[in-house]
Structure 1
Amino acid sequence: MRVVDSHLHLWDPWTLEYDWLEGPMAARFAEDELFEEQLPGVTEEVSVFVQAGTVERAFLDEVAWVESVADAAGVVAITAGARLDSGAATAEHLERLAAHERVIGVRHLLQDEPHGTASSPAFVDGAKLVAARGWTFDACVRAEGISDVTALADAVPELRVVLDHLGKPRVGTDAAPLRPSAEWLRDVHELAARPLVHAKLSGLPAEAGGRWAEAQLTPFLDAALEAFGPERLMWGSDWPVSSFDTAYQPGGRARWFRFVDSWAQSRGVSSDGLFWSTPLAFYGIR
């Protein structure tokens, strides 16, 4: 079995500056730590690195650092950090990113931005520059922000967008699970009506606080399948973020992989598509 992990984070707070890492997360998670979390029964494994929340002034430094560990970590592509609403500064930043051959897309982290940010004129202008380069955009929002991603997809219909973590729905915990809300279901289906938008089966363990049950999360995967169809879904580990509860939990990446693989088989979803060909095609990885 071949696997592209479409959502991998690496970080090193002794090399780069982050303003969100604290407690047990404020440690190095890079090639050596990832080696201990290889997936079981996989013949070939590569990853797409997704920017890990460095401070803005370190966006380019993060790309350079990831490049330095990429071969050892199996990273074949980089989704770099970028602000898309900064006009000429955005254009200059994208030009500098283009000097790095592994960069295939960007992420402007939207989850803490005011509603409407992604559909603002300045942001749309930046997104058009991304699309013009043939790059992708990772949309990381909380559930209430999914409609903003839909507005962006309408404003820049040529932009290939992927919804990270299914839009971070409220899933509850293993002890007190929540069903998919009517609002989340409505917004996911509306977004999925845009044909270039994909979605990642990723991040739900983190939304559950690291303690999750298969029966708890299955309805969210089923809803994503109904909305996007199997051809626009891809798997991502969200490692190491989704391997934490109160502390780092070794084996969390493999557990999520086994669960999604089992779910896919039970639903007749092609493992080769979900884990390999869809992310390769979306990100334009050769």
Structure 2
Amino acid sequence: MADYPIVDSHIHLFPEAEIPTLSWATPDNPLAKQHSVSDYRAATGSPTNLKGFIFVETDRVHDLATGAQEGDESGWEGPLAEVSWLRRIVEGTPREGEGHRPDDARLCLGIVPWAPIPSGPEVLERYLDRVRDVAGPETWSRIRGFRYLLQDKPHGTAVQPDFIESLKLLGRRGFTFDLGVDQHRRGRQQLEDALILITSAHEGVPDEEKVTVVINHLCKPNLGIINVADPSFVQWRTSIYALSMCAKTYMKLSGGFSEMPTSLISQDPAAIFEAIFPWLGVILATFGPRRIMFGSDWPVCTVRPPTTVTGGQETLDPNAWRRWKLIVERMCYMATLEPEDQAELLGGTAIRAYGIDQSLGEA
């Protein structure tokens, strides 16, 4: 396969000193250690065609209730500290031991921080001002959108009026919204809410102001299903078709390893591809290669199921990034995608969807 420029549309980074601010980082979590740009470069093997990555927020501890109080922003400390961390990467000013160097700035093509979307547009406006102040001009220019994870929130969160009005504000301001839902663990309602969210956020809005929505991780389907007649697969397929009909909506080809059963995740990329082709085929048939973007979900993609770890084997798979890339490349080959479509899927779609400055990422 040709070495098309790669934009990894979904990675997470965090320094050792700020792990206590991560909401999920329990002591027994194998990811609860520093994952910085140097670690990412090692995981990818630093291929010459890797143009760069888009950083996505890491679910820092936050308090919407506190942050929503007039003049009180203490509930935003964790997310704003994350913006400061990204500023050090972009400006090439690492603190000792943080695992990045000045020339790593070129790899950070875009940033998608957390935002208090459910709090409504007035609070969101104030939060955006704080992010701009903390980020500084150079880093602010690389903030292309925002995310508020819905995968673990009560059903109905995404369809509340304040949530919808916040998305309309993002659209007016030229920002994207990363949509993270989880059909595998939360069921059909998450997909139904996602569709209502997008259609409501676009309703009555001029095309140029409609928020661009980037769906994460295929909506997290259960990739262990072996019968495509299974109700879960049928529900997912139906929802993906409906979501693909929405304007300014894209899909990240990412997060697959987290949804695979133990029996599948350790197999070679060719076998994994064969097993998950029904899902990949649906995504290609609905969104098409020019609304799909490659993403690794590093370092989450590296976590091995506990039952696959034996002896002195690491709990994290150092080859996960390269294995997922091989699966995506095999999909492109088996679907006989045109060279232009392959180039879009691997990098061009992410650049267009997020409005990334194409001069970034150049050595």
Q: TM-score range by the shorter chain?
A: over 0.9
Given that 1:85 and 1:125 are in contact with CA atoms closer than 8 Å, whether structure 2 keeps it comes out as no
Runs of 4+ with >3 A deviation: 39-42, 176-180
Aligned to 2:152: 112
Query: What are the within-5 Å matches in structure 2 for residues 158-177 of structure 1?
Result: 158-172=210-224, 177=226
Aligned to 2:283: 224
What amino acid is the match of 1:66?
L
Q: Give the share of equivalent positions with the same residue, in percent.
A: 30
Alpha-carbon shift at residue 47 of structure 1 (Å): 0.3
Asked if structure 2 preserves the Cα contact closer than 8 Å seen for 1:106 and 1:136, the reply is yes
CA-CA distance at 1:263 after TM superposition: 0.9
Equivalent residue for 2:178? 138
Going from structure 1 to structure 2, the CA distance change for 1:32 and 1:178 (only over 3 Å counts) comes to farther
Q: How far apart are 1:13 and its partner, in Å?
A: 4.5
Q: What is the distance in 2 between the residues matched to 1:225 and 1:153?
A: 20
Residues 1:263 and 2:283 are matched in the alignment: no
- One-letter amino acid of the structure 2 residue matched with residue 187 of structure 1: S
Shift of 1:89: 2.3
* Larger deviation, residues 261-270 vs 23-32: 261-270
TM superposition shift of 1:148: 1.3
Identify which of 141, 145, 149 aligns with 2:194: 149
User: Match for residue 277 of structure 1?
Assistant: 348
1:53 and 1:10 mapped to 2: Cα distance?
Answer: 11
Alignment match, 1:68 = 88
Aligned to 2:69: none
Aligned match of 2:57 in 51, 55, 67?
A: 51
TM-score (norm 2): 0.74
Alignment match, 1:248 = 316
Structure-2 change in CA distance of 1:257 and 1:231 (3 Å):
same
Q: How does 1:89-104 map to 2 (within 5 A)?
A: 89-99=123-133, 100-104=140-144
- Give the partner amino acid of 2:43: E
Greater helix proportion: 2
Which blocks of at least 5 consecutive residues in structure 2 are unaligned?
A: 63-75, 91-102, 134-139, 203-209, 266-271, 307-314, 358-363
Matched residue pairs, number? Answer: 283
| SS of aligned partner of 1:37 | helix
Gaps of 5+ in 1: none
1:28 aligned residue: 34
8 Å contact kept, 1:136–1:161: yes
Conservation of the 8 A alpha-carbon contact between 1:199 and 1:228: yes
Corresponding residue of 2:256:
204
Aligned-partner SS, 1:214: helix
d(CA) in 2 for partners of 1:192 and 1:75?
28
Take 2:323 and 2:149, find their aligned partners in 1: how far apart are those partners? 27
Q: Which of the two has greater strand per residue? A: 1
The 1:39–1:177 alpha-carbon spacing in structure 2 relative to 1, beyond 3 Å, is farther
Secondary structure of the residue that 1:81 maps to in structure 2? Answer: coil
Deviations 1:221-262 (A, max 9, x none): 111111111211101000000111131100100110111012
The normalised TM-score by structure 1 is: 0.93
Pairing 1:15–2:18 present: yes
Per-residue deviation at 1:155? 1.2
CA distance in 2 between counterparts of 1:178 and 1:208 reads 15
Measured in 2, the distance between the counterparts of 1:138 and 1:268 equals 29
| Map of 1:6 onto structure 2 | 9
Equivalent residue for 2:312? none
Q: Does residue 187 of the first structure (1) align with residue 239 of the second (2)? A: yes
2:346 maps to amino acid: F
